A and B are shown apart, each in its own frame.
Chain A
Amino acid sequence: MIPGRKVKEHALFIICSIATLLSIAGLIILLLDAFADGLPWLDFQFLNSLPSHYPDKAGIKAALIGSVWIVGLTALFSFPIGVAAALYLEEYAPRNWFTSFINVNIANLAGVPSIVYGLLGIGLFVESLTLGRSILAGALTMTLLILPIIIVASREAIRSVPKAYREGAYALGATRWQVTREIVLPSALPGILTGTILALSRAIGEAAPMITIAALAYINFVPTSPFDRFTVMPIQIYNWVSNPIREFHHLAAAGIIVLLGVLLSMNSIAIYIRYRYQKRVR
């Protein structure tokens, strides 16, 4: 036996463990850093105040409500379109070149950098459709950005519906749409909802395309209509972190805690739906 082989075997294990621990440590330090900086600044006044030039008076209210508007409208647009597209591709689409063209397209769209969607939104919604830098333009841009994610997740959920369900319904004389609506959609719905919620949580965290749409946001009002100008939490965090005054960095950290809190609750809902569904199947 070559001497040292046992040592090398352990060495690789130790090196790999260190690599794994380092990446996990990165996450833990990142979260601790944000919480340590932000927690002292996180109070009701922070949640309920508009932006201000004075760090003591500034808050995240306008951005929080802006985010709710954006994610609400995005859900309204992207859910029906995404599910319909997934139903078409799984239940209706013929196997031809055009269907595979659509498939390739969806895969490519998922790889497009998010800032490019921002440029699309500026050109298409803000300028060509003259929606201006409005909530509506932001939500439509976000819709296009998360549609590929919703379609892919919904297709997976639809594909997992057993073929026997469909054939049972067809045997009873149901039409294709009846089978799709009454059998496939209800069985696939939990999976579709989970995927949609995860896609929407991606939308909440996206900053780059929202910055190109909303531009420099000193929004000292709470938006009340889809045509209002707006800011969202990631933009507000970016603004604060780019401010050279140190107190604003703490505000950014407090904003990060709020943002992560929102994401965590959305993901918990998604996990809960998945859990309930798994139980029902058993």
Chain B
Amino acid sequence: MPRAQEWIIEKLLFLCALISVFTMFAILAMLLFGAISFFQEVSIIEFFTGTKWTPLFKPQHFGILPLLWGTLLVTIIALGVAVPLGLGSAILLSEYAPEQVRKIIKPVLEIMVGIPTVVYGYFALTFVTPILQVVFPETSVFNALSAGIVMGIMITPMVSSLSEDAMLAVPQSLREAAYGLGARKHEVALRVVLPSAFSGVVASIILAMSRAIGETMIVSIAAGSTPKLTLNPLEGIQTMTAYITQISLGEAPFGSLEYRTIFSVGLTLFLIVFAVNLIGHWMARRYWRQY
């Protein structure tokens, strides 16, 4: 076979691999381009310190803090659900469960990862919210709590499967040493395995958190579209992602200043998720190097 053909094929394959680099640059370019044209009209200081977000009606305010808070509130609630459930299942699967039980539970958790987020959103609005309204009658139809709980259910499998991997990687000799000293199972699990797997477990929680921050459909459906700085999870809020959806659905004319807000919000979201991912991957790498 002629050498030229080999050369051309190698370059073609290389170009395909290069698309990933191109994608990353395109994402950055699009977000920066949109955000810069937005910041020419709105002060970047107002954007990051303002406490009112009302781009769609006069007087317009462009302070992203309410959206950031909305995202943070839902994420905290989600972690409040996912961390205990995820760690509980991870300890059960790695320390207690016999192989047959693992074989049943693991695929079920995998199925949960594959369910589209719009389905979780439907569940939050039509099932969880009515229950909350019975328990707390002042709950509004759209509220942070319902979205947070369901998002927690969604990210639980991420926490449990990554934590379980980390716990399974703890050398058996550590467990046996503890048992040899007379430790019981809960002591081995909580005082030997969990501390040894600590950075791996933290990495799983951080990566699940990044997923929660970027999640869009659950919050768009169930958390509402009223950006505000509230501590009450029974009220409607708005997250960064839900705001982008709202504008994308056509609530602002294409190309207008209101429309360009989605790129500045998108850039903020991208940078936050990117930073959280970096920390998560760094923790995970540190852990896997340990053993």
Contacts and interface: CB of A to CB of B under 8 A. Distances in A.
Contacts of A29: 123, 127
A181 B70 CA distance: 51
A220 B131 CA distance: 35
Interface in A91-143: 92-93, 101-102, 105-109, 111-120, 122-124
Contacts of B157: 23
Interface in A6-55: 6, 8-9, 11-13, 15-20, 22-24, 26-27, 29-30, 33-34, 37
Contacts of A249: 122, 126
Given A30-B115, A113-B213, A119-B31, A241 B221 contact: yes
Contacts of A116: 27, 31, 214, 266, 269-270, 273
A249 B130 CA distance: 14
Contacts, number: 262
Nearest to A106: B20
A242 B118 CA distance: 11
B245 A211 contact: yes
Interface in B120-149: 120-123, 125-127
Contacts of A118: 244, 248
A30 B119 contact: yes
Interface stretch (B49-57, B85-93, B168-176, B228-236): B85-93
B273 A252 contact: no
Given A23-B157, A102-B21, A267 B114 contact: yes
A107 B281 contact: yes
A187 B145 CA distance: 49
A237 interface: yes
A211 B249 contact: yes
Contacts of B190: 12
Interface in B254-272: 262-263, 266, 269-270
B217 A260 contact: no
Given A19-B84, A19-B85, A234-B116, A12 B91 contact: yes
Interface string A189-220: 00000000010011011111001100110000
A267 to B, nearest CB: 7
Contact of B1 (A89, A123, A177): A177
A241 B127 CA distance: 12
A68 interface: no
A16 B89 contact: yes
A252 B217 CA distance: 14
Contacts of B156: 23, 26
A93 B14 CA distance: 8
A260 B19 CA distance: 31
A263 B116 contact: yes
B177 interface: no
Interface residues on A, range: 35 or more
Given A23-B109, A115-B241, A30 B120 contact: yes
Interface string B218-241: 001100000000000000000001
Contacts of A82: 16
A123 B126 contact: no
Interface residues of B, number: 85
A126 B146 CA distance: 34
Interface in B186-219: 186-187, 189-190, 207, 210, 213-217
Contacts of A184: none
A148 B22 CA distance: 12
Contacts of A93: 17
Contacts of B125: 241
Interface string B1-25: 1000110011011101111110110
Given A16-B88, A20-B88, A112-B273, A151 B20 contact: yes
B220 to A, nearest CB: 7
Contacts of B114: 198, 201-202, 205, 263, 267
Given A84-B16, A113-B213, A19 B118 contact: no
A18 B88 contact: yes
23 contacts: A8-B186, A12-B91, A13-B186, A16-B88, A20-B105, A23-B160, A34-B122, A85-B20, A105-B21, A109-B24, A115-B216, A119-B263, A151-B20, A176-B10, A202-B114, A205-B115, A208-B117, A208-B220, A215-B249, A234-B118, A237-B118, A238-B220, A253-B126
Interface of B: 1, 5-6, 9-10, 12-14, 16-21, 23-24, 26-27, 29-31, 33-34, 84-89, 91-93, 96, 105, 108-109, 111-112, 114-123, 125-127, 153, 156-157, 160, 184-187, 189-190, 207, 210, 213-217, 220-221, 241, 244-245, 248-250, 262-263, 266, 269-270, 273-274, 277, 281
Given A201-B114, A211-B249, 20 more contacts: A9-B187, A12-B186, A16-B89, A19-B84, A19-B87, A23-B112, A29-B123, A30-B120, A33-B123, A34-B119, A109-B24, A115-B244, A116-B266, A119-B34, A119-B262, A124-B26, A206-B116, A207-B216, A234-B118, A241-B118
